[in-house]
Structure 1
Amino acid sequence: MRRVLLSSVLILLLGWALGTALPRWLQFMLTMAMANGLVSLGIVLLMRGGVVAFGQGLMSALGGYAAALAFVHWGWQDALLLPLWGGLVACVVTAPFGPLLARYRGIFFSMLTLAMSMVGYGILVKTDSLGGSDGFNMGRVTLLGQTLADEQVSTVLYSVTLWFAVWCSMAARLYFSSTRGLVTQAIRDNELRVEYMGASVSNTMAINFSMAAFLGGMGGALAVMALGHIDPNFSYWTTSGEFVFVAILAGSQSVLAVMLSSAVLEVVRSFSSAYFPSTWQLALGLFLLLVIRFLPGGLGSLWSHRKGSR
């Protein structure tokens, strides 16, 4: 634990020192990459138990709408409070579905989560009080009660997102090594043996689902804070597909790989859509096929295998 804590502090300090020197457009890109990386981290958490959630976009949308509505109607403007609120709302709203989904595996789990996401999308599109298909805007956040100047907004949002991303990644890393985290891996290998050993497979998977929802809601709130806008497309199936892309690209063996993979997606999307607007998805798909073919364990397997061979 001490090693993980020291590594997290070092990454936080280095990320802050380097990030504050970057231009605003690059700060925004990295902010979105880390926010979306938190959403994908929830998928990786579930992948370690042998299931893939294709509805993580719903968690992101719930967190984003919760943060934006709290900002507009309740006057909650603090950049440290809104992500926690978004994560809590996403967790509470989806928690009743956890025990149900915990009974399913494989394509059934994936399709059920996808169906939930699209039901949420339909509700958001048809709800005029939430802006319908256009969504609505939210204003500029504050930090500990302090109003941010124009030149400070990008740096502060980057720093806040980095703070949440690092500490959530550290918590996920510790969870993976905990008893329940190891039970999750055992469920993927042979859940029948886990039941015989006295552990509850259903409870473990339901808890993992709620944790994934919290991470997704937090990531969605951070993304909305950076964009200043929320709409139903956060819950659309293509958005969930991008989160799954990041999770598959990263693999389930490394938390750091999730953030790196999210940054790769953001860079490719930003630059390729500018120069190859009609074919960048094709290039992204080919890249993913190559990763699956030559690195079936994801990018995280590069240093995980090296560490295991020592």
Structure 2
Amino acid sequence: MKKSIILLCGGTSVLLAAGTLMPGWLTFMLTLALAKGLVVLGLLLLMRAGLVSFGQGLYYCLGAYAVAVTGEYFHTQNALLLMAVAVVVCVALAAIIGLLLCRYRDIFFAMFSLAFSMILYGVLVKSSAFGSSDGFNVSPPQLFGWMPGEENTPLLAYCLAVVSVVAVATFIWNYFRSPMGYAGEAVRENEIRVEYLGVSVRRVIYTKYLLAAAMAGLGGAITALTAGHIDPEMAYWTTSGEFVFIALMGGTGHVAGPVIGSVLFELLRTFAFQLSPYTWQMILGIALLAIILYLPKGVWSLIERITKRISA
């Protein structure tokens, strides 16, 4: 246990220190990747229970808009406060929608979650108060009254993203080893037996849905603070599809899978767009097909194979 804590603190310190040495474009890209990794970590909770959500863009977008609206109308730029507001708003909405979604499984769960995400997209596109289809800008963040300069703003967002990912990943790691975590995997295998054991399947799924919404809102908040601009496209179905894409790419066998998959996805998309601006989606599609064919359990399964061979 002590060794794990030391390794975790050491790894976090290395990542934070690396932010001061990286070029601005790489810091920006990794921050966005880590923010999306938070969303996929929440999606991992649902996938471990046998559910696939195509509506995580709902909370990703809602978290970003909560940051922008709070900063604009309540005149605050405190990054931690804005992130907390985003999480609370997303959990509050998920507490209502989850009462309906926890009743459904398989394709019905996926399509219902997608429908709610597209409803938010339609509302934002038609709402002039929120910038309509153009969205609006987000004020630069500050931390405990400290306002970073223009050059240090990406570094602040990067540090917030690193700390958030480490904290959330540690929580999920322990959650999967708790009775509620094991109950999720049992639900995926046989719901009827779980009910016979006296555990409420709906309560298990409802809890996971709330946690996934909180993580998606946190990821959206960090994205808003990093990019400095938000728009309704964050709730569009293609955004939710990206999160599922990343989950398949990284794998669901370990909490590091979504983070690794998110970083690889951003790197792949960036260089694919640079090489072929008009057909970069085809490159992503080919990459996904290759992973499904040769690494059906995601990139993390390759890392597991390598570590096993080294240890052997």
TM-score by length of 2: 0.95
Encode CA deviations 1:270-304: one digit per residue, 9 max, x unaligned. Answer: 12112201221111111111211222221222345
Query: 2:148, 2:289 → 1: CA distance?
Result: 43
Query: 2:6, 2:180 → 1: CA distance?
Result: 23
**Unmatched 5+ residue regions in structure 1?**
none
- Residue 164 of structure 1 corresponds to 164
AA matched with 2:48: R
Encode CA deviations 1:6-62: one digit per residue, 9 max, x unaligned. Answer: 333222111111121101111000000000110111111100000100000011011
Query: 2:159, 2:299 → 1: CA distance?
Result: 25
> Does the 8 Å CA contact 2:251/2:261 hold for their aligned counterparts?
no
AA matched with 1:245: F
- Residue 278 of structure 1 corresponds to 278
SS in 2 for 1:150: coil
> Does the 8 Å CA contact 1:4/1:170 hold for their aligned counterparts?
no
Cα deviation for residue 106 of structure 1 reads 1.0
The aligned runs of 1:42-121 (5 Å cut-off) are: 42-121=42-121
**For structure 1, which segment, 149-158 or 180-189, has the greater mean C-alpha deviation from structure 2 after superposition?**
149-158
Query: 1:41, 1:250 → 2: CA distance?
Result: 10
- Residue 288 of structure 1 corresponds to 288
- Residue 30 of structure 2 corresponds to 30
SS in 2 for 1:111: helix
Query: 2:69, 2:31 → 1: CA distance?
Result: 21
The aligned runs of 1:1-310 (5 Å cut-off) are: 2=2, 4-304=4-304
Question: How many aligned positions are there?
Answer: 310
Cα deviation for residue 3 of structure 1 reads 5.1
Moved over 2 A (4+): 1-8, 300-310
Computed over aligned residues only, the root mean square deviation of the Cα atoms, in angstroms, reads 1.7
Query: 2:148, 2:223 → 1: CA distance?
Result: 18
SS in 1 for 2:152: helix
Query: 2:154, 2:290 → 1: CA distance?
Result: 35
SS in 2 for 1:52: coil
> Does the 8 Å CA contact 2:83/2:221 hold for their aligned counterparts?
yes
AA matched with 1:202: R
Query: 1:214, 1:45 → 2: CA distance?
Result: 12
**Unmatched 5+ residue regions in structure 2?**
none
